[in-house]
Amino acid sequence: MTQEWWGVLIAFAGAFGYALGAAIQQLDAVKLGANRRLMRQPRWWIGGAISFTGACLHAVALSMAPLTIIQPISMTTLVYAVPLAAKLHGRRPRKAELLGSVAVSIGLAGLMLMIPIHDADNPVLPDGAAVMFLAAVLTVVVVSQLLGRRCSGPMKALVFAVGAGVATGTVSTFVRLVGAGMQTDLANLVHWFTLVVPTMLIVATVLLQKSYAVGYFGIAYAAAQVADPVASVLAGAGLLGEPLPQDPALIAPAVGCAVLLIAGTIALGRNAPDHGHTDGDVVEVPVAEPAEVRSAA
């Protein structure tokens, strides 16, 4: 078996691992809410570790096979995540969930394949531009948090997930910058860009758990998966000089992929929730005190 085929197999294993980890984490987020109680739940940490392993396998696959092959495979995580989450909740996945997941995955993979491949040797971002970029990202995050608290149902899950996806897309941008700097000099690791990566990962994790806690896992996972590459591509084009598609012949396919993506998201949003928390926090149920038994005079 050639190296490329090994890369493909590893990419599928990574996609499955990432999906399984997300499905495990959302199970606890739905039951406990997005709060500090998750930090004391071993299963939630196991889910995070599985997702991290999946992400590492994806990175290994990229070193063994072309990006044009591996990247679409990573978009299939939604197809695995939705039925896995349904199974963990003790039910069969609904037909609308499966169709919506496939539609979103195909639409997103199609759009990503239209992005020109650009191998920048040393992407550079001035500190001033980086600060402005982070200010814009944090604005999106804050708006997502405030708006999400006012919304309900699938819209609540969608808003929180978009904020999480933008945060993870920002992580990808700064990972590219830090990685490129380390190739020229390891001392470049000691830079404030490096601190952005774990900070934004924490922000993304918090928003994503809030989105999961609502109970609409399909739309939460899909929205995060869409917002992540979109934010990363826009940042790469606007800040790092990476190209965007310019061929007019791609307009029709792009519209078709966008329609698939939107239709799939709507289908996922119409499914009943898996008993999520309405506010992303633990719901405290008051316990009625037993009435005092009065003795007869």
Tens of pLDDT along 207-243? 999 999 998 888 999 899 889 888 888 888 888 887 8
**31 inside domain:** yes
What's the whole-number average pLDDT of the chain?
83
| Confidence (pLDDT) at 1 | 64
Rounded to a whole number of angstroms, the CA Rg of the chain reads 21
**64 inside domain:** yes
**87 inside domain:** yes
| Confidence (pLDDT) at 276 | 52
Residue 280 pLDDT level (bands cut at 50, 70, 90): very low
Q: What is the 3-state secondary structure (H, E, C) of the chain?
A: CCHHHHHHHHHHHHHHHHHHHHHHHHHHHHHHCCCHHHHHCHHHHHHHHHHHHHHHHHHHHHCCCCHHHHHHHHCCHHHHHHHHHHHHCCCCCCHHHHHHHHHHHHHHHHHHHCCCCCCCCCCCCCHHHHHHHHHHHHHHHHHHHHHHHHCCHHHHHHHHHHHHHHHHHHHHHHHHHHHHHHHHCHHHHCCHHHHHHHHHHHHHHHHHHHHHHCCCHHHHHHHHHHHHHHHHHHHHHHHCCCCCCCCHHHHHHHHHHHHHHHHHHHHHHCCCCCCCCCCCCCCCCCCCCCCCCCCCC
Number of domains composing the chain? 1
Whether pLDDT at 166 is above 60: yes
| Confidence (pLDDT) at 242 | 79
**166 inside domain:** yes
Q: Which domain holds residue 249?
A: 3-269
**278 inside domain:** no
Whether pLDDT at 154 is above 60: yes
Which segment, 34-38, 91-95, 106-110, 132-136, is predicted with the most confidence on average?
A: 132-136
**283 inside domain:** no
**289 inside domain:** no
| Confidence (pLDDT) at 133 | 93
pLDDT tens per residue across span 10-43: 989 988 998 999 999 999 998 888 888 888 899 9
**Cα 80 to Cα 24: distance, rounded to the nearest angstrom:** 12
| Confidence (pLDDT) at 265 | 86
Average pLDDT rounded to a whole number, residues 130-143:
94
Average pLDDT rounded to a whole number, residues 94-116:
88
273: Cα within 13 Å, side-chain hemisphere: 22
| Confidence (pLDDT) at 186 | 76
